Amino acid sequence: MSKATSHLNRVFFPALIVIAATSPLLPAQHTDAAPAAPAYKNLTVLKDVPADQIGPAMQFMTTSLGVECAFCHVQGKMEADDKGAKKTAREMITMTNEINKTHFGGRQQITCNSCHRGAARPVAIPPVMETDAMPAKPAAPPASAPGAAQAVTPPTAAQIIAKYTEALGGEANIRKVTSRVMKGNILTGGQQTPIEVLSKAPNKRVSITHMGSSDSFTAFDGNTGWMGNTGRPARAMSASESASSALDSELYLSLRLTELYPQMRRGRPETINGVECEVLNGQNAGHPPVRLYFDKNSGLLVRMVRYSETPLGRLPVQIDYADYRDVDGVRTAFRWTLSRPNGRFTIQIADAKNNVPVDDARFAKPAAEVK
């Protein structure tokens, strides 16, 4: 995909960059035929990979090497082996698998990104210093680090989640909200695009981006996710996109965290943007692994990083929450920034209304074209 085509993807599939946005789309065959697997013609090292994982694997390589699809592919002929880089990539996949098998007990410790780090050619030689200024001292360990004199026992995961629920306004207030309609703008590259986000308890959600005369939809109907654009057939999300979308759609996220991630573990506290945070790590089959950051003072969720598994490694999506405002006794984030290895945008909400009736049909995947 050239710069131009990836721009086209953003124009035609803006839903991609909106909410779930775990993997970019493959060419047309992948977008139109709903669950039917595209017929790949020339897979060798990835031949045993499920068809809907090929796209995420391609994205992982593209991001790790800092290239476009066209670095390895002839446009419109993805199966062709004309480019040397594609052949090298095959050898690299085999090599990486072997390193993990031989040296890391089969765990995916080494990935393309371990060596490439965003460049087609890894750098073997350490760089020289470019300034004689003193290097910044490593940050002092946080007061709660092991070994530091500690009067207070660190909070447990359950306490951190309970504090978050209280900070939002408490369970009773949270449960009084059964639907929410938000209106605002997507801010990206200095441009504003109007967006509406409709949610309904417990986990239905649709975001509608208004692009001129055409709308684009990213939705989760309570069971599965789908995406669509006005006048085109909607497409079902892949299993991993759908799982991420499900998480975003939890209207009562704070109350559901323990259920979604029974093994939630407290991590080492971290400071992000000057805010000291408690960190929780959650893992559970069927849900994307997550890392959650809570403001130690306010208790509010300030960042969520969730990971989608690809056959070649994990891709992160980071969502930063800000501008919490009180709506009917419930603190609600009015601003969130979604960052991925290949893109970033912010949604700024201007107006939020709770308990507006929203018809279930708004969340359902249209049988034919999206209207």
Which residues of the shown chain bind ligand HEC in the complex (CB under 6 A)?
1, 26, 40-47, 54, 58-59, 61-62, 65, 67, 69, 71-73, 78-79, 85-86, 88-90, 92-93, 96, 110, 112, 114-116, 120-122, 312
**CB closer to ligand HEC, 79 vs 326:** 79
Considering the complex, what minimum distance in angstroms separates the CB of residue 22 from ligand HEC? 13
Is 245 buried (19+), middle (13-18) or exposed (0-12) by CB count in 10 A?
A: buried
> What contacts 195, CB < 8 A, 6 or more positions away?
18, 183, 184, 185, 186, 207, 208, 209, 210, 347
Q: Are 104 and 110 in contact (CB under 8 A)?
A: yes
Closer residue to ligand HEC in complex, CB, 53/203: 53
What is the closest distance, in whole angstroms, from the C-beta atom of residue 247 to ligand HEC in the complex? 24
Of residues 60 and 293, the one with the C-beta less far from ligand HEC? 60
Tokens of 147: 């070994």
Exposed/middle/buried for residue 51 (C-beta within 10 Å: 0-12, 13-18, 19+): middle
In this complex, which beta carbon is closest to ligand HEC, that of residue 31 or of residue 59? Answer: 59
Nearest by Cα to 268 from 137, 140, 146? 146
User: Which residue number, 71 or 252, has a Cβ lying nearer to ligand HEC?
Assistant: 71
Token pair in block for residue 245: 């979308």
- Tell me how far, at minimum, the Cβ of 226 lies from ligand HEC, in Å: 21
Cα torsion 198, 12, 21, 35: sign: positive
Minimum distance of ligand HEC from residue 232's CB (angstroms): 19
Q: How far is the CB of 15 from ligand HEC (least distance, A)?
A: 17
Degrees to nearest 5, angle at CA 176 with 172 and 179: 145
